[in-house]
Structure 1
């Protein structure tokens, strides 16, 4: 099996930090994503390679296995078991498979029987089963996309799959869909699909956990005299009554008008509105006269 350099695929050094690997993966995933490169087989191939590399290097345990065993990292447990029983033979080669395994006589009967070489009498006719490779992908959504539960079609390794995205999915959240990874070996189970959500907020609301925050601009006269106004919420408009003498920075809480709570049907956070009073900067001569009269009355 040819050695695959996952570090080279993501264009990072072997000493790269988790943050550097994540940044490199996101950059390349966006560049080669099938939605941005329709009917481009080469981009599709690159996208698969990038996801495979990220699956290994973004998980500390997988990365550790890969650094030691290279292409055979998924079978690290069997190698470790063999070492413990003294069945591992280097044959003058490198200790790490990551240095470039090329086959030959470096494996004992234990390895050869397990991975397709000669078999012993007891092991002939049966092969070890291994779970297929797990796949990872990143799905980019807008905040408005995850306000309600909806379905979306994804293209994974050339196959279209229909998934349900629950309302309230958070940025960076990862979900697992069992059985949508690679094929198992020797009849083993399929791997799983891990989807990481990248949620961007292009709205006028700030999201903190399940609560939303926004600013309402009030004219001076409504703040002083009070009145009815219309305010935006995430899913529509509401009518609010402003009390006379409302001060700048006053906060209003709208219960249940925040963001949906993940997998808790009908449960929402709250919406907090902050009043910001706008002082007029251009006054007519008549307005100046009236404000002068008001000032005189206040000071009399």
Structure 2
């Protein structure tokens, strides 16, 4: 029987703290969860291994016995033994966990399917009992998405969404980004045997806005300007997310000229007093459906400025 390196499976050091183990487990469990990777046997197998590793390393007694086994197995290998060879005496560890360990407590994502290695050492305690019942376990984490307009993300405010039939009212802070995830503690599945409820992870999806292009906290907007105003200069009102603003167009303004409006961009997330800029890209528009008199005037202008 092969030895399983649970520390390597979770990607943590052998001196890792309980919090470090829990953090590594939750990250890997979400990454390889069957709901996230449907019909992927490799992800399913990895999910089972991560659950098993957490079941051992998150339990003080299991971890201590596992560490002792690991030390003995390492000495065996250094003495010339090989992985999977029959020279190592597994019997001195087999069944040590029977009747002594509760299972499933570290699996907030549901289910436990342990290997022969685990069952041999800990007695297959996926559903075992300890005095007083099963060990408390955290509830399942839930995933949800919430669509927002650009103005919703700019202004923030309360929003309501329904998850698993439960209506939740949350407050969106100004400046959120597309793909940003918000965690709501204790809004996931109920805990087992008095354990804490899981968390709800809400991924924010910002709908495209035809008016603006967002780059970080800066916005860019195309502004149509008549050729007359571009030549002679003038004033024009543009709509920004914070309200209408009057801008000045200088005479002889070229097509594609960019103007910068400071503080008219997007607020920085969790720092609403820090706001990006709005860049206006002036696009000159040509008059359409000219009258005969207008065409004559353009001809006169062209004659005055020959190429």
TM class by shorter chain equals 0.5 to 0.7
Q: Secondary structure at the match of 1:267?
A: strand
Unaligned runs of 5+ in 2: 1-28, 58-62, 70-89, 96-111
Q: How many angstroms does 1:79 deviate by?
A: 4.8
Q: How many angstroms does 1:151 deviate by?
A: 0.9
Q: How many angstroms does 1:224 deviate by?
A: 0.7
1:245-295 deviation line (CA, Å, top 9, x unaligned): 111111111111112211112322111111111123443232233223333
Unaligned runs of 5+ in 1: 1-51, 90-99
1:175 equivalent to 2:182? Answer yes
1:1-300 superposed matches below 5 A: 56-57=33-34, 58=36, 66-68=44-46, 70=48, 74-79=51-56, 81=63, 85=69, 107-108=119-120, 110-111=122-123, 114-117=125-128, 123-125=130-132, 127-299=134-306
Q: How many angstroms does 1:153 deviate by?
A: 2.1
User: Distance in 2 between the 1:137 and 1:205 partners?
Assistant: 27
Q: Secondary structure at the match of 1:265?
A: strand
1:73-107 deviation line (CA, Å, top 9, x unaligned): 64532257577636578xxxxxxxxxx9699xx93
Give the number of the structure whose alpha-carbon radius of gyration is greater. 2
Aligned length: 229
Q: How many angstroms does 1:234 deviate by?
A: 2.3
Query: Is the 1:251–1:274 Cα contact (8 Å) retained in structure 2?
Result: yes
Q: Secondary structure at the match of 2:220?
A: strand
Q: 1:201 to 1:176 in 2, by over 3 A?
A: same
User: Distance in 2 between the 1:226 and 1:176 partners?
Assistant: 51
Query: Is the 2:94–2:120 Cα contact (8 Å) retained in structure 1?
Result: yes
Q: How many angstroms does 1:184 deviate by?
A: 2.2
More displaced, 268-277 or 230-239?
A: 230-239
Query: Is the 1:143–1:203 Cα contact (8 Å) retained in structure 2?
Result: no
Query: Is the 1:256–1:268 Cα contact (8 Å) retained in structure 2?
Result: yes
1:10-69 deviation line (CA, Å, top 9, x unaligned): xxxxxxxxxxxxxxxxxxxxxxxxxxxxxxxxxxxxxxxxxx99882549xxx9784246
Cα RMSD (Å): 3.5
User: Distance in 2 between the 1:261 and 1:292 partners?
Assistant: 52
The equivalent of 1:20 in structure 2 is none
Query: Is the 1:65–1:76 Cα contact (8 Å) retained in structure 2?
Result: no
Query: Is the 2:33–2:47 Cα contact (8 Å) retained in structure 1?
Result: no
